[in-house]
Amino acid sequence: MIRRRITRKVMVGGVGIGGGAPVAVQSMTNTQTHDVDATVRQIRRLAEGGCDIVRIAVPEKRDTEALPAILEQSPVPVAADVHFHYERALEAIEAGAHKIRLNPGNIRDRKKVDRIIAACRDRGIPIRVGVNEGSVIERKDSDLRAAQKRSLAADYRSEMIRLMLETLEGYLRIFDESNFHDVVLSAKSIDASMVIDAYRALSERSDLPLHLGVTHAGPPETGRIRSIAAIGSLLAMGIGDTIRISYAADPIYEVEDAKELLCSLGLRSRTEPELIACPTCGRIEIDLIKLVADVRRELSTIKTPVRVAVMGCVVNGPGEAEGADIAVFAGKGRGIICVQGKQKRTVSEAEMLNALYEETLAFAQRVERGEVELSPSTVTIASADPLPRMDGSIPPAVATE
């Protein structure tokens, strides 16, 4: 069981961040915000996929002018991402945005920041203060920039983390002096291990909720490894109150992978089937890869968290699938389908997909009617011949999730 770090709680519309609230999933639209119809379509698609908060960019006035129409149609809270112009923040607040994201590297003028804070306080809107590796280096003061470059050249990793935290803390002094604490923090890098170290340090310095992410993660094929390495490690330490997995792709993939990560760590309850499958090996006598892909597609129509196992042989399959609600153990030309460990029927390879779907759907319907219960996620593991401890005592059975 993961013991989460205790943080302050802020509300983004009706979604809580921190303070014991479930870890919230975020994503960001990649439409032109002023295209209201396209933006609303994408927000709805992300929300249907399980996104809790959607962020949209508002670089121009026509984008903030579109916000009221977008907010009126959005099923989830919307955060406005402000770039260089503080006026966009004020306009977004006036339009009713549920959250504002500011980058200390882009908006530094104290009077401008004070105006944004005052407007957010009046409307009860939180602010995310987010720095990233590409925005903290000084741009205007050439002497300071040169000094930072020299420090980074000597020890890039340590100096970049120091610079990000120093930038955040300097910016946060403005919020502290204004007695404004509805703040969420983020400190992102492209380097997964740097992200881990930065957030660990940040978690030790502040009790403000943290928004986890890896910046410029790339396409899903490589970006998911980089992102999960960092975000998953931090969540397992109990650090993190909301997450965004960022890809150079359709943002729905960000939501799907974020949900799977949270479910895998026990930080979010599944609301749809869980598919497990054995790795391919020389014992397989069917096209398991195609079968798994087909099963995954078919299961998308079921909205009950049934655990389904697709196993490519009858050697290790039964043991590996233990705990699954529905399982198929495939052999040459045929497969055995089991329901909660009991053999239900044997079908040909051609019938396997339809039969598995039928059994899964029937079981899910029985669950919804209260006739059966899903298999528990907790199992007891006890060695047949447990090794004694150093003091000679025998270890007890271990409960795992």
- Main-chain phi, psi angles of 126, to 5 degrees: -80, 165
Specify the DSSP element, H or E, that contains 67: helix 61-73
State mean pLDDT over 282-290: 81
Structure tokens at 307: 């655990």
State mean pLDDT over 293-319: 85
Query: Three-state SS for 205?
Result: helix
Q: Can you list the alpha helix ranges (DSSP code H) found in 74-191?
A: 86-95, 110-123, 142-154, 156-177
* Whole-prediction pTM: 0.86
State mean pLDDT over 20-44: 96
User: Does residue 92 surpass a pLDDT of 60?
Assistant: yes
CA distance 4 to 395: 27
Helix crossing, 192-205 with 220-236: angle to 10°? 30
Helix crossing, 220-236 with 252-264: angle to 10°? 40
The pLDDT of residue 385: 54
**Would you place residue 302 in the very low, low, confident or very high pLDDT band (cuts 50, 70, 90)?**
very high
The pLDDT of residue 104: 78
The pLDDT of residue 141: 79
Which residue(s) pair with 147 in the sheet?
none
Q: What is the mean pLDDT of the chain?
A: 88
**Would you place residue 331 in the very low, low, confident or very high pLDDT band (cuts 50, 70, 90)?**
confident
**140 against 32, higher pLDDT:** 32
Q: Which of 22-26, 36-40, 144-148, 175-179 has the lowest mean pLDDT?
A: 144-148
**147 against 383, higher pLDDT:** 147
User: Does residue 383 surpass a pLDDT of 90?
Assistant: no
Which residues belong to CATH 3.30.413.10 in the chain?
274-380
Contacts with 131 (C-beta within 8 Å, 6 or more apart), sequence order: 103, 104, 105, 164, 167, 168, 186, 187, 188
- Main-chain phi, psi angles of 205, to 5 degrees: -100, -20
**Would you place residue 288 in the very low, low, confident or very high pLDDT band (cuts 50, 70, 90)?**
confident
Residue percentage of the chain with pLDDT more than 90: 61
Q: Does domain 10-264 have CATH number 3.20.20.80?
A: no
Q: Which of 9-13, 120-124, 227-231, 314-318 has the lowest mean pLDDT?
A: 314-318
Looking at the domain 274-380, which fold is it? Answer: Sulfite Reductase Hemoprotein; domain 1 (3.30.413)
State mean pLDDT over 213-227: 90
State mean pLDDT over 138-151: 83
User: Does residue 100 surpass a pLDDT of 70?
Assistant: yes
Which residues belong to CATH 3.20.20.20 in the chain?
10-264
* pLDDT tens-digit map of 149-182: 888 888 889 989 999 998 899 889 999 999 999 9
* pLDDT tens-digit map of 384-399: 455 556 666 666 654 4
Q: Give the angle subtended at the CA of 364 by the CAs of 318 and 296, to the nearest 5°.
A: 65
Contacts with 360 (C-beta within 8 Å, 6 or more apart), sequence order: 273, 299, 302, 306, 308, 325, 326
User: Does residue 314 surpass a pLDDT of 70?
Assistant: no
The pLDDT of residue 330: 84
CA distance 97 to 74: 11
Which residue(s) pair with 202 in the sheet?
none
**Would you place residue 239 in the very low, low, confident or very high pLDDT band (cuts 50, 70, 90)?**
very high
CA distance 71 to 35: 13
State mean pLDDT over 235-245: 96
Q: Which amino acid, 19?
A: G
User: Does residue 275 surpass a pLDDT of 80?
Assistant: yes
Contacts with 277 (C-beta within 8 Å, 6 or more apart), sequence order: 288, 292, 309, 310, 311, 312
